[in-house]
């Protein structure tokens, strides 16, 4: 059991602030012992509430504006966007008030004079190039873009451009896209086989998708499987994303994502015939 973070935090905290400082130091040390990243720790403790709320507003506005822009591009590629926004809002379980805001921002993104690059530059600056938030942003855009079943070329081109403007290169975008597709297939498998989801999974396509959900392939070692799982769980932890500025309306996406990551990991463990990995 890791205790050195708590010990050091307790001592330093006491030296700085006596009893109260010791309590704070113990808490910080405990978080370090849990393996949380220093970046998350700093942002959670020292990012002001006002700053987080500003990031949340920008994230919400940009999400739906870009979503509208992407949907319009799909229409140019002969893919109707009817009900696309309604589906994503229903999936996020948004309030009536937030739905009205989403509609407004979505409509702005569809306007001829909408400046995508300017919007993305402002968004990236506002979230301080936070890689975790930027990846979640792209994951939400992919989720919306696939609402009609397929990702048409025009939408793909806009999303690739969007990703690159946010500092996510084509390789990472392709990986996020492949992971999303695998999640869709794996989620459907779990729906069809809820009571037998981990039965007969060895050497099946569903097992392969489980690996894809974690962004790895079947040749990965046990250590690589565990590392990929822990990294994804950490990146999509709802508390971490809230601390960094993800709007509460979109936490459901992160929660579902962690559930799918956990289910994929459990499936791999089962398929490998191991109680612990």
In the predicted structure, residue 269 carries a pLDDT above the cut 70:
yes
How far is 140 from 187, CA to CA, in rounded Å? Answer: 16
Q: Given this model, what pLDDT does residue 103 score?
A: 94
Domain spans of the chain, in order of start:
4-35, 48-277
pLDDT mean over 188-205: 52
Q: Given this model, what pLDDT does residue 21 score?
A: 46
Tokens of 120: 């993305």
C-beta neighbour count of 114 within 10 angstroms: 16
Q: Given this model, what pLDDT does residue 270 score?
A: 83
pLDDT mean over 3-28: 48
In the predicted structure, residue 120 carries a pLDDT above the cut 50:
yes
Tokens of 219: 């040749």
In the predicted structure, residue 165 carries a pLDDT above the cut 50:
yes
141: Cα within 13 Å, side-chain hemisphere: 33
How far is 79 from 77, CA to CA, in rounded Å? Answer: 6
Q: Which of 35-44, 69-78, 189-198 has the lowest mean pLDDT?
A: 35-44
How far is 146 from 85, CA to CA, in rounded Å? Answer: 12
Tokens of 112: 């001829």
As separate numbers, helices (DSSP H) first and strands (DSSP E) second, the chain gives 13, 0
Higher pLDDT pick, 4 / 144: 144
Q: Given this model, what pLDDT does residue 37 score?
A: 45
In the predicted structure, residue 170 carries a pLDDT above the cut 90:
yes
Axis crossing angle, helix 49-76 with helix 96-110, rounded to the nearest 10: 50
In the predicted structure, residue 86 carries a pLDDT above the cut 80:
yes
Q: Given this model, what pLDDT does residue 237 score?
A: 84
**Model confidence over 234-265: pLDDT tens digits?**
888 888 888 888 887 788 777 888 888 888 89
Q: Given this model, what pLDDT does residue 22 score?
A: 47
- Report the mean per-residue pLDDT for the chain: 79
In the predicted structure, residue 116 carries a pLDDT above the cut 90:
yes
Confidence band for 91, pLDDT divided at 50, 70 and 90: confident
pLDDT mean over 157-172: 96
Coil, helix or strand at residue 47: coil
pTM confidence score: 0.65
Q: Given this model, what pLDDT does residue 2 score?
A: 44
In the predicted structure, residue 38 carries a pLDDT above the cut 50:
no
Element spanning 32, H or E: helix 4-33
Q: Given this model, what pLDDT does residue 6 score?
A: 44
190: Cα within 13 Å, side-chain hemisphere: 17
In the predicted structure, residue 205 carries a pLDDT above the cut 60:
no
**Model confidence over 139-150: pLDDT tens digits?**
999 989 998 888
Q: Given this model, what pLDDT does residue 43 score?
A: 52
Q: Report residue 203: phi and psi, to 5°.
A: 60, 30
Axis crossing angle, helix 131-145 with helix 251-271, rounded to the nearest 10: 90
In the predicted structure, residue 24 carries a pLDDT above the cut 80:
no
Residue with tokens 């979109």: 250
Higher pLDDT pick, 5 / 275: 275
pLDDT mean over 33-55: 60
């Amino acid at each position: 059991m890791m205790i050195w973070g708590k010990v050091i935090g307790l001592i330093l905290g006491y030296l700085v602030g006596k009893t109260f400082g010791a309590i704070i130091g113990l808490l910080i040390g405990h978080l370090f012992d849990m393996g949380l990243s220093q970046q998350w720790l700093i942002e959670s403790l020292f990012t002001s509430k006002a700053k987080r709320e500003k990031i949340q507003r920008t994230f919400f506005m940009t999400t739906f504006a870009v979503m509208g822009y992407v949907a319009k591009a799909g229409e140019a590629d002969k893919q109707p966007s009817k009900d696309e926004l309604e589906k994503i809002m229903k999936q996020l379980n948004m309030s009536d008030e937030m739905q009205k805001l989403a509609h407004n921002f979505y409509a702005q993104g569809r306007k001829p004079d909408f400046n995508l690059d300017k919007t993305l530059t402002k968004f990236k600056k506002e979230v301080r190039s936070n890689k975790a938030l930027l990846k979640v942003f792209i994951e939400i855009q992919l989720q919306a873009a696939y609402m009609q079943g397929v990702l048409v070329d025009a939408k793909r081109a806009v999303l690739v451009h969007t990703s690159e403007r946010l500092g996510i290169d084509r390789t990472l975008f392709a990986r996020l896209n492949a992971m999303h597709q695998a999640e869709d297939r794996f989620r459907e498998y779990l729906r069809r086989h809820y009571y037998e989801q981990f039965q007969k999974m060895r050497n099946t396509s569903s097992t392969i998708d489980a690996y894809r959900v974690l962004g790895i392939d079947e040749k990965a070692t046990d250590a690589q499987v565990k590392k990929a799982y822990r990294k994804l769980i950490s990146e999509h932890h709802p508390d971490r994303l809230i601390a960094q500025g993800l709007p509460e309306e979109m936490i459901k996406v992160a929660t579902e994502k962690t559930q799918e990551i956990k289910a994929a990991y459990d499936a791999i463990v089962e398929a490998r015939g191991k109680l612990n990995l």
